[in-house]
Amino acid sequence: ATFYNWKKKYGGLGISELRKLRQLEEENAQLKKLVADLNLDKQMLQDVLKKKY
């Protein structure tokens, strides 16, 4: 079933489209990591402010 799902999702794409898709997926993963890091920084700053006041 996995192969058929893959084929249904990516079967009609050309080589250049697959490369672009891979690039966008990598960029998306990097951006998700950046958002997670920024959320952690924000939470730490909020914790510091709560303790300070």
Model confidence pLDDT, tens digit, residues 10-38: 888 899 999 999 999 999 999 999 999 99
Is residue 26 included in any domain, yes or no?
Answer: yes
Is residue 41 included in any domain, yes or no?
Answer: yes
- Indicate the pTM of the whole model: 0.69
Is residue 1 included in any domain, yes or no?
Answer: no
Is residue 5 included in any domain, yes or no?
Answer: no
Is residue 24 included in any domain, yes or no?
Answer: yes
CB 18 within 8 A of CB 10: yes
Is residue 22 included in any domain, yes or no?
Answer: yes
Q: How many domains does the chain have?
A: 1
Residue (of 37, 39, 41, 9) closest to 25 by Cα position: 9
pLDDT of residue 11: 86
What is the spatial distance between Cα 53 and Cα 19, in angstroms, rounded to a whole number?
Answer: 51
pLDDT of residue 35: 99
For residue 28, what are the domain limits? Answer: 15-52
Q: Is it the case that residue 49 has pLDDT exceeding 80?
A: yes
